Structure 1
Amino acid sequence: MKKLLLLSFSLPSIPKLQSLCHLQQYKWLSYSSQFPKEIKWNSKTNVIITHPTLVAMESCSSMYQLRQIQARMTLTGLITHTFPLSRLLAFCALANAGDLRYAHRLFCRILEPNTFMWNTIIRGYNKARIPAMAFSFFLDMFRRGVPFDPRTFVFTVKACEHFSMAPQGESVHSLARKTGFDSELLVRNGLVHFYAVRGWLNHARGVFDEMPVKDVVTWTTMIDGYAACNCSDVAMELFGLMLEGDVEPNEVTLIAVLSACSHKGDLGMGKMIHEILEKKNVRWGLSLHNALLDMYVKCGCLVDAREVFDRMESRDVFSWTSMVNGYAKCGDLESARRFFEQTPQKNVVCWSAMIAGYSQNDKPKDSLKLFHEMLGEGFVPGEHTLVSVLSACGQLSCFSLGHWIHRYFVDQIRIPVSVTLENAIIDMYAKCGSIDAAAEVFSAMSERNLVSWNSIIAGYAANGRAKQAIEVFDEMRCLGFKPDDITFVSLLTACSHGGLVSQGKEYFDTMERKYGIKPKKEHYACMIDLLGRTGFLEEAYKLIKNMPMLPCEASWGALLSACRKHHNVELATLSASNLLSSDPEDSGVYVLLANIWANERKWGDVRRVRSLMRDKGVKKIPGHSLIEIDGEFKEFLVADESHPQSEEIYRVLDDILLLSKLEDSGCDCDL
C-alpha cells in the first residue's frame, strides 16, 4: 500500500466532515488525559508480532514515544505496510495517552484506509464522546463504498446512542438489514443495546425476539434495559427464561437482576440470586458486591446487608453510603451516623443520605447542623440534599435559611431545578407561613406534577386561605390532573379552617363516588375536625362511631378539642378516655381534660385528673419555643433560666409586655 507520512503536518481541509458537524464537535485538542480506561488500544490480535519496532509499538505509553517509533517506521519503510500503520493509528485514537487530533491527521493522510482503520477512527471519536464526528466518518465510509464489517455497525450504533433523536440509529439498523449484517450476533446485540439505552423497549424486544441465537450479552442487555426502565417484573421473567435456556449469567447479568429486585423490593428473588452466587463460580467484583448490598438495603433486610458488608474485601464510598442510607431509612440514626463517620472518603451522596435520614426522622435540627458542616467541608449540595434540607427548614419554620437556599443555590449558582426541588421550595415557604412566596414559585413553574398541586393546596389550607385552596383545586381539575387521597386531605383541611361545612361534606361524599378514592382515617379525622369546629359535635361523634375502621388518635383528638371550644363535657370525657386507652402517657390529653373541667368549675374532677397523672407518673411536657440566630437554633422552655443571657432576655420581655399593655390602654406615654 502506498503511503505518504510526514513527522509534522497541518490539518487538511475536510469540507465533507465540516458540513456534517457543528464547530463545537471539533473540540479534540486535549482529549489525551480524559479518555476512559475501559478501552484498550492494543487489544489482542491473531498476528504474531516479532519485528522490534512493532514490539516497541505495543508497549508505547506516550505520544513522545509514539513519534519516535513513527520516525523509525518512516526511515525503515515499515510505515508503508498496512498492519504497522493501523497500529500507529490505533494508539493515537484509542490509547489513554493518545491524541485524537493526531489520529485524525494521520487518517486523512492515508490514501486507501481499510475497514479496520475506518472502524478505529469511528471508535476513537466514540471514546472521546464526539458522536457526531464518529457518525460523519461512517457516512463518508458509506459514500466511498468502503466495505463494512460487523464492528463498523456496532461502533456506529454506539455513537447514535448519544444523539437526542433516534433517526440516525434507525437508519444504521435499516442499512444493516439491507446489507445482511443484521444476521450477525455482534450487530444484533449492538442494536438491542441501542434501543434499550434509549428506553425503546418494544424495539429492543423486537430485535431480541427475532434472534435465533442469543448469548449472555444479548440476555444481559435486554434484562438491564428492563431494569433501568423500572420494568422489574419483565426483567426477572426474562432472567428466568435465560436460566431455562442454559445460558450462564455473568457478573453484569446478576447486577442487572439485583437492580430489578431492588426496584421491586423482591427480597425472595434477591436471595435466590445470592444463592446462585454462592453456589456457582461467579467472579465477585466490587460492583456485584455493591449491587447485592444495595438490594438488601432497599428490601429493608439490614441484617443480611451488614453480613455482606462485613464480608467485602474492598469497599468504596457506595458501599458505606448504602449502609448509611439503610440505617437512616429504618430510623436507626445512631448506627447510620456511626457508618457515616467511619466512611473513609465521603462524597455528596454520602452527606445527603445522612442529612435526609435526620430530616425524614423528625430530627430537623440535626439535619441542618450537618448541612452546615457539609458546606464547611467545601461540598456543593445537589438536588437531593437541598430537598431534604428544605424539608427540615419547613419542619422548623426556618424561613431565613430556606429563603437563602432558594436565592443562592437556585437563583445564583443555578443548580438545575427539577419539579421535585421546586415542590420542596413551595412546601418550605408554605410551612414557614410565606404562602405568597410559595404561590409565586408555583406560578413560575414550567412543569407541574400532582405533588406540585397538592403542595400549594396544602399550603393555602395550612395558612387559612380556604378560598384559594378550592380555586387551585378547581384549576387543577380543569387542566386534567386527577386528585389523589393527599389532595383531599388538604382540601378537607382547608374547608375545616374556613368553616366550609357544606363544601367539605360534598368533597367527602364525592371522593369515592367520583374519583374512586376510599376515605382513609386521615379524611375522617378532617371531617370530624370540620364538624367539631363548627359546633356539630353530635354529628362528629356519629361519624366516629360509623367509621369503617377503628378511629385514629387524630379523630378523637379533633373531637376533644371541639368539646373544649363548645363546652361539651360528656363527649370530652368520652374522647379523652379513648385517647388515653391508646396512649396513657399523653400528658396533653390530661391537661386538656383538666382545663375543660376547670372551665366548668368542677374542681373535684380537676383534682381527680391531676391525681391520675401523678399515679401514672405522667408529667406535663413544658412549653417551649425555638428561634434561629445566626444559623444556630436556640430553644427556650417555660420559666427557663439556663440561658447565660436569661436576665437580659426576661428584662426585654417585661418591657415588651409593659409596652403592649400601654398600647391596649391607649396611653401615649414615652418610655
Structure 2
Amino acid sequence: MRRCVFLCKRSSGSCPSFSPPFSLSAAPQFRLLSSSGAQKTKWNSTTSAIITNPVLLLLESCTSMRQLKQLQAHMTRTGLMAHTFPASRVLAFCALADAGDVNYARSLFAHIENPNTYMWNTMIRGYSKARMPSSGLTLFGRMISGRVEVDGRSFVFALKACEKFEEVFVGEFVHGRIWKMGFDCDLLVRNGLIHFYTVFRCLDLARRAFDESPVRDVFTWTSMIDGYATHGCPDEALELLDLMLLGDVKPNEVTMIAAVSGCSQKKDLNVGRKLHELIKRENVACSLNLLNALIDMYIKCDCLISAREVFDNMETRDVFSMTSMVNGYAKFGELENARMLFDKMPEKNVVSWSAMIAGYSQNGQPKEALEIFNSMREAGLVPVENTLVCVLSACGQLGRLEVGCWIHNEYILSKKIRFSVILGNALIDMYAKCGCIDAAAAVFDEMTEKDLVSWNSMITGFAAHGHAEEALELFHQLKSTGFRPDKVTFLGVLSACSHGGLLSEGQEYFKDIAREFGIAPQIEHYACMVDLYGRNGLLKEAYELITTMPMLPNEATWGALLSACRTYGNVELGRAVADKLLELNPEDSGIYSLMANIFARGKEWSNMRMVKSMMRERSVKKTPGHSLIEVDGKFHEFLAADGSYLQSEEICLILNHINLLSSWEDSVSGATLG
C-alpha cells in the first residue's frame, strides 16, 4: 500500500491536508495520453500543499480535458476521488485552467456531496473567468442562503464577478453583505472592495474604503494608486505614493507601474526622473512591464535620450518595447531610426504598424504613410481607430479622395470599425482638404455626438472653401449648444471673414476673443486680421496692426501683408515688408518671387533684376512645382523641369502627341466655324 502525503497550511476554506491509504500499485507506470496542441506550461492554479502522490503530480501538470478525464477515471477507480483534496484539484482544473471546461466543473460540483468553502470559491471564480458572472453570483447567493461557511476569498471572487456587470449596484449588494457578516476589517476583502470601486470609476467610494482600512499592505496602496492613475487622476496617484513612502510599506513593481503611468499623463519629466531613481533606490524588480512603462513615460515627457537609454539596457524586449521606441523616434522626426527599428521587429502588431503610419503622416510624408498602410493590409492585419485616423490625415495631405472614400466605405459604413467622434473628425478634415466640403458637412450632420474639434473642423473647412456665411452660422450654432469656443475656433472664424471679405464682422469677432471669451489672441489670429485688412486694401491698417502686436511678428504676418502689397501694387511698403521677411528667413524663395512680382507690376525692372541677382548670389533656388499620382498602388512624384524619372522620355513624347492632337482639333474647329 502506498500513501499520498500532503503538507498544507490550514485556514478557513483552504484545502485540508490529506494522506489516505489506497491501492496504487500501477501508479509508477501510469501515463497520460498525449493531446495535440496541448499547452506546454502548467495550468494556473496554486496550492499550499506539498504533493508527492504520483497521480496528483500528474494532475498538476495536466494540459487538456482529455488528460483530466483519464486521470479522473483512474482516481475514481482507485478511490482517490472520494477524498476532498484530490476532488478539489480536479474541480479547480476544470473551472480555472485555460484548457478546462466550466460546464464540466458545474456537473462535477453538483455530484460532490458536501463541497467545502474552497470548492464553492473555485466555482464562483471559474464562472467569473468564463464570463458567466450571473452564475457566479447565483452560486454566491446559494452560499449565503444555505449558510455555507464563507471566507474572505468568497467575497473577493464575488466582487470579481460583479466587475463583469455594467452597473455598480450589483457590487454594492455584496458590499452590504460584507458589512453585515463582519468581513469589513478583513484586509483581503478591503483590497477587493477598493479594486472593485476603481473599476467602476467610483473613486470617492474607493478612497473611503481605503481611508477606513485599519491596516494597509502594499496591495491596498497599489490598488488605490492604480485606480487614480487609470482614471486620469495622476496628481492624486502621485500624492498617495508620497504618503505611502512616508509609512513602512515598500512599493512593488505594480505600484511603480501605476505611478509611472500617472507621470506619463502629467508629462512631468522631473517627477519621472525621481520615480526612476526611487525604483533604483528601493531595488524594485525591474520587470519587462515596468521598463516598458518607463520608456513610454520618457517619450511622453519628450525625453527620447532617456527612453533610448532604458531601451538599450534592456536584457529582453517585446513588441511593446520596440513599438514605444518606434513611436518615440517618429514623434521626434527621426523617421529613419523609426523605420530601421520597425523593419527589425521580429513581431509586429497593429499598434506597431499604426505607430509607423502615424510617424510618416505627422511628419509630412503622407505618401509613405499610405504605402505602409497597404503593406499592413497585405500582412493580414485589421486596422484600428488610430490607424484610420492617421491614414485619413495622409489622404487629406495628398488630396487622395478616392482612398479616403474607400476607407469610409470599407471600414466605417460597413461597421467593421465603430464610428466614433475621433473618426468623424478625421473624415470631416479629409473631405474638406480633398475639396468635398459637401461630404464633410454630411459627415458632420450625421454625427450624433460631437466635440469641439468636430465644430472647429467644420468651421475651418467652410472657411477654407470660401463659405463664410456657413462658417459663421455654424459658429453661432456652436455657442448655442453650450460649447465654449477656443483659439482654434476663432482662427476658423477670422479665416472665414478674411476669405469672405467681411471686414466689420472680422473686427468684432477679433475683439470678442478677449472681450467675451477671455482668450488672449495668438499670433495666428493677428495674421488672419492682417490678411483681412490686406484683402480689403487697407494696407496701412494692416501695417499698424503688425507694429502694435504684443508679440514679435512672424513670417505668416509679414507674408500676408507682402501678398497684399503685390495685389495692390504698393511697391514702397512691399520693399519694407520684404526686408523684414528676409531677416527672418533669407532662404525662402517665395519672398524673392513675390518681391520680383511687385517690382514688375510697378514696372521697376532694374529692381526686379536686382532681386533675381540676389537669389543667384545667395544660391536661393525657387522651389519647383511637383505633382503626385498613383499607379497600381505605387506613388510616382514628378518635379518641374526634372528629367530624372525613368520614363520621362516616353511621358514627354505622349504629352507632345496630345498637344499636337489638341492643336489640330482647335484648328479644325476654327475652320468649321469660319
| TM score, norm. by length of structure 1 | 0.90
Residue pair 1:250, 1:282 contacting (<8 A) in 2 also: yes
Residue pair 1:230, 1:263 contacting (<8 A) in 2 also: yes
Q: What is the Cα deviation at residue 638 of structure 1?
A: 3.0
Among residues 540, 544, 547, which one is paired with 1:545 in the alignment?
A: 547
Find the aligned partners of 1:263 and 1:617 in 2 and give their Cα distance.
46
Among residues 169, 187, 201, which one is paired with 2:189 in the alignment?
A: 187
User: Paired residue for 1:12?
Assistant: none
The one-letter amino acid paired with 1:44 is T
User: Paired residue for 2:570?
Assistant: 568
Q: What is the Cα deviation at residue 273 of structure 1?
A: 2.3
Aligned runs of 1:88-237 on 2, under 5 Å?
88-237=90-239
Find the aligned partners of 1:655 and 1:392 in 2 and give their Cα distance.
37
Find the aligned partners of 2:541 and 2:530 in 1 and give their Cα distance.
8
Q: Assess, with a 3 A threshold, how the Cα gap between structure 1 residues 76 and 647 changes in structure 2: closer, same or farther.
A: closer
The one-letter amino acid paired with 2:538 is F
User: Paired residue for 2:387?
Assistant: 385
Find the aligned partners of 2:319 and 2:54 in 1 and give their Cα distance.
45
- Unpaired runs of 5+ in structure 1? 1-31
Aligned runs of 1:182-581 on 2, under 5 Å?
182-412=184-414, 414-581=416-583
- Please state whether the residue corresponding to 1:634 is helix, strand or coil: strand
Q: What is the Cα deviation at residue 62 of structure 1?
A: 3.3
Residue pair 2:256, 2:290 contacting (<8 A) in 1 also: yes
Q: Assess, with a 3 A threshold, how the Cα gap between structure 1 residues 49 and 350 changes in structure 2: closer, same or farther.
A: closer
The one-letter amino acid paired with 2:651 is S
Q: Would you say 1:44 and 2:47 are equivalent positions?
A: yes
Find the aligned partners of 1:196 and 1:40 in 2 and give their Cα distance.
29
Q: Assess, with a 3 A threshold, how the Cα gap between structure 1 residues 399 and 34 changes in structure 2: closer, same or farther.
A: farther
Residue pair 1:35, 1:96 contacting (<8 A) in 2 also: no
Residue pair 1:348, 1:380 contacting (<8 A) in 2 also: yes
Find the aligned partners of 1:401 and 1:331 in 2 and give their Cα distance.
25
User: Paired residue for 1:633?
Assistant: 635
- Unpaired runs of 5+ in structure 2? 1-34
Find the aligned partners of 1:378 and 1:611 in 2 and give their Cα distance.
56
Q: Assess, with a 3 A threshold, how the Cα gap between structure 1 residues 668 and 229 changes in structure 2: closer, same or farther.
A: farther
The one-letter amino acid paired with 2:174 is V
Find the aligned partners of 2:661 and 2:144 in 1 and give their Cα distance.
86
Q: What is the Cα deviation at residue 518 of structure 1?
A: 0.9
Q: Assess, with a 3 A threshold, how the Cα gap between structure 1 residues 540 and 636 changes in structure 2: closer, same or farther.
A: same
Q: What is the Cα deviation at residue 55 of structure 1?
A: 4.5
Q: What is the Cα deviation at residue 490 of structure 1?
A: 0.7
Q: What is the Cα deviation at residue 170 of structure 1?
A: 0.9
Q: What is the Cα deviation at residue 536 of structure 1?
A: 1.1
Q: What is the Cα deviation at residue 328 of structure 1?
A: 0.6
Tell me which moved more, 303-312 or 419-428: 303-312
- Please state whether the residue corresponding to 2:628 is helix, strand or coil: strand
Q: What is the Cα deviation at residue 195 of structure 1?
A: 0.8
Find the aligned partners of 1:661 and 1:230 in 2 and give their Cα distance.
68
User: Paired residue for 2:17?
Assistant: none
The one-letter amino acid paired with 1:148 is V
Runs of 4+ in structure 1 over 6 Å off: 32-39, 659-663
The one-letter amino acid paired with 2:500 is G
Residue pair 1:401, 1:631 contacting (<8 A) in 2 also: no
Higher relative contact order (CA 8 A, sep 6+): 1
Q: What is the Cα deviation at residue 206 of structure 1?
A: 0.9
Q: Assess, with a 3 A threshold, how the Cα gap between structure 1 residues 289 and 371 changes in structure 2: closer, same or farther.
A: same
User: Paired residue for 2:7?
Assistant: none
The one-letter amino acid paired with 1:291 is A
Find the aligned partners of 1:35 and 1:451 in 2 and give their Cα distance.
50
Find the aligned partners of 1:35 and 1:228 in 2 and give their Cα distance.
36
Residue pair 1:496, 1:504 contacting (<8 A) in 2 also: yes
Tell me which moved more, 289-298 or 109-118: 109-118
Among residues 648, 652, 655, which one is paired with 1:647 in the alignment?
A: 652
User: Paired residue for 2:82?
Assistant: 80
Q: Assess, with a 3 A threshold, how the Cα gap between structure 1 residues 353 and 656 changes in structure 2: closer, same or farther.
A: farther
User: Percentage identity across aligned positions?
Assistant: 56
- Please state whether the residue corresponding to 1:182 is helix, strand or coil: coil
The one-letter amino acid paired with 1:129 is R
- Please state whether the residue corresponding to 1:338 is helix, strand or coil: helix
Find the aligned partners of 1:493 and 1:194 in 2 and give their Cα distance.
50
| TM score, norm. by length of structure 2 | 0.90
Q: Number of residues paired by the alignment?
A: 637
Residue pair 1:462, 1:494 contacting (<8 A) in 2 also: yes
Q: Assess, with a 3 A threshold, how the Cα gap between structure 1 residues 514 and 38 changes in structure 2: closer, same or farther.
A: farther
- Please state whether the residue corresponding to 1:72 is helix, strand or coil: helix
Q: What is the Cα deviation at residue 620 of structure 1?
A: 1.6
Q: What is the Cα deviation at residue 636 of structure 1?
A: 3.1
> Over the residues paired in the alignment, what is the CA RMSD in angstroms?
2.5
Residue pair 1:34, 1:96 contacting (<8 A) in 2 also: no
| 1:611-666 per-position Cα deviation (integer Å, ceiling 9, x unaligned) | 11122111122222333444433333334445243324433663697499789xx9
Tell me which moved more, 165-174 or 75-84: 75-84
